[in-house]
A and B are shown apart, each in its own frame.
Chain A
Amino acid sequence: MTPLNIALVGNPNCGKTALFNLLTGSRQKVANYAGATVERKEGWFTTPAGHTVRLLDLPGAYSLNATSPDEAVTRDVCAGTYRGEAAPDLLVCVADATNLRLHLRFVLEMRNLGRPVVLALNMIDAAQRGGMEIDLPRLQAEIGMPVVPTVGIKRDGARSLLAQLDDTLPPVPVPLPAGTDLHAIVRQILSDCVTQSTPLSDRVEERLDRWVLHPVWGPVILIVLLFFMFQAVFAWAQPLMDGIDAGMGWLGQQVGRLLPDGVLRSLIVDGVIAGAGSVVTFLPQILILFAWILALEESGYLPRAAFLLDRLMSFAGLSGRSFIPLLSSFACAVPGVMATRTIQNPRDRLVTILIAPLMTCSARLPVYTLLIGAFIPHRNIAGFLNLQGLVLFGLYALGIISAVVVARVLRWRDPDRQEATLLMELPAYRLPNPRDLALGLWERARIFLMRVGTTIVSLTVLLWGLSSFPAPPPGAPGPAIDWSLAGRIGHLMMPVFAPLGFNWQICVALIPGLAAREVAVGALATVYSLGSGTDTDQAAAQLGQMLPTHWSMATALSLLAWYVYAPQCVATLAVIRRETASWRVVALAAGYLFALAYAAAFLTYHIARMF
């Protein structure tokens, strides 16, 4: 028997995804729609009578009159015109029973698609608790399609829906004449079928929003939440990351002992294990950050945070939605770019992805610490400001200011410069459901490990190859890397980088540093023959003493400026590729960051040389 194709449609925040998770459990596949960056979620389940169902969770939409790529996908799949998607046999339209005034209008639009439709009246329990009584038989007669009550967050909340699916397909609803005033019909239905006994102002939203959206208390609550979020990301993730780091190091040693000294051992230990290690060390940060973001999103707080921050972000031509992804990028641009999924507007999302690498991530710190410690005098300015701290602050500020400028330029260059819009729903507050959180986290972890991880590991192996081959002839002087392809490329890069004040040692160190920014410290130690770079702290301490004798102040400042901008991170580029499904965007990001890095380092070097 061929499976039944069912599509779940409904307004954003109607509880559609909870219902989808309830029906399909972990039998889900997440991908993108062909030719679009819209997330496609599909799942499978078997009804009590044994029918196999292929369920598509369509993106939330307010109307078939699409205003975003998400809504266009929903419109086209519902109409059966999306290339590569089978036309659904049945549409299950989900509406939040506590928000029928908004959601029923979209349900009425479904009547004109010429497909069987079932209305799932979701969160019916919350509606009843709120003192709302709905006359289901009458609603069914007036809306012109079968109506089933559902509770997406309860174990047997889909029972009536499943019973309906085991029945024969309902008839295609009678279409409404063109030009019908859908709002008028909704009002009529609500007055006929719904009685509300509790006054509106008693609702939880009313009381909570008085604090959460308050001009003074609102930002205070937000700052406290963000403080705990970052405390969690840094304080809780760090021991886990150190543990994984140590574990991968131990694994490398153990494997190294088993294998004979040679190319194979180096490939496995320095290439594959080191590459995989750099991937999994990201995981604790990503999971903790996403646990927070998902909980904030599910609870209904995230759009309210966006409301509070909208004004601030409008300086960069963005909306409040971009704030949390950008803030996350101070930890690491990889989860930051992944978090841009909460931005509905595709243009805002793209701009946010492009400027996320300008937020100073934690991997830049070892490089900054090394160079500032070695070159900037430990001196107080105006009695209390530490010069080293001031320089570090300046580097962070430079990144932020540049991000605002870049965002504004991108907006200004936008061909169809649309009015900046916000218009977003502030949904009802909800306690996040553990199952939905767990599934959401699992999805993020899988995407990161499978899609981004494979790219990072292959590029790390490639960089290892460049830094290891060809091997130096026996007894050759100088560090081995100098004889390798990376060394040769480093020397070839010299004419390009000499105007920035970089010497060949810096150029060579930049190549392995592409794998991760902090690797550059170890690579510099290797190039200056300070041992194999196994103990980074020791190497950094030795480098700190030695560098001032090898580099001028202008070179050091130039390298600092370079690091504010340079696209020195394969993981970020890999995640941009995954999230935008476009090499063009990757090229654009890498290109503009490189250009800015070059210009900034060039100016810094030449200005610094004048003093």
Chain B
Amino acid sequence: MRLSDLPRGTDAVIDSVDDHGSIDPVAQRLRELGFVPGEAVRVVATAPMGGDPLAVRIGFTRFALRRTEADRVNVHPAGAQA
């Protein structure tokens, strides 16, 4: 499933980050910020007015990202098989 579909408060593990197009600076930056396979992630908040953007916690760090950005990140709930 995608990070943008992950319910708030559910622990999940990152599987991959998809590139949208051949050169995708957003995907590249997500990987640099630590959105890499095996990393634990959790949605800690969703914004008012339609739940966009999301606030996610990854490791010790929190990031705000829009749903279009979170769409690139594939995750599976912690405890389940990838």
Contacts and interface: CB of A to CB of B under 8 A. Distances in A.
A419 B59 CA distance: 27
A508 to B, nearest CB: 48
Interface in B17-74: 25-26, 28-30, 32-34, 36, 39, 44-53, 55, 59-66, 68-69
Given A214-B45, A310-B53, A425 B62 contact: yes
Given A423-B65, A426-B64, A310 B47 contact: yes
A308 to B, nearest CB: 6
B3 to A, nearest CB: 12
Contact of B61 (A67, A102, A206, A423): A102
A101 B34 contact: yes
Interface string A535-566: 00000000000000000000000000000000
Interface residues of B, number: 31
A60 to B, nearest CB: 13
A214 B26 CA distance: 26
Contact of B48 (A63, A98, A311, A423): A311
Contacts of B28: 65
Contacts of A65: 28, 32
Contact of A218 (B32, B48, B51): B48
B33 to A, nearest CB: 6
B60 A98 contact: yes
| Chain B contact residues, majority secondary structure | mixed
Given A67-B25, A209-B55, A307-B53, A102 B60 contact: yes
Contact of A421 (B44, B50, B51, B69): B69
| Chain A contact residues, majority secondary structure | helix
B52 A209 contact: no
B61 A308 contact: no
Contacts of A419: 26, 68
A547 B63 CA distance: 57
Contacts of A67: 25, 29
A343 to B, nearest CB: 14
Nearest to B65: A423
A422 B53 contact: yes
Contacts of A102: 33-34, 59-61
Interface of A: 62-63, 65, 67, 98-102, 105, 183, 200, 205-206, 209, 213-216, 218-219, 303, 306-308, 310-312, 419-427
Given A311-B53, A312-B49, A427-B62, 7 more contacts: A99-B61, A183-B34, A206-B44, A209-B44, A209-B55, A218-B45, A425-B64
10 contacts: A101-B60, A183-B34, A209-B45, A308-B47, A310-B47, A310-B52, A311-B47, A423-B33, A425-B61, A426-B55
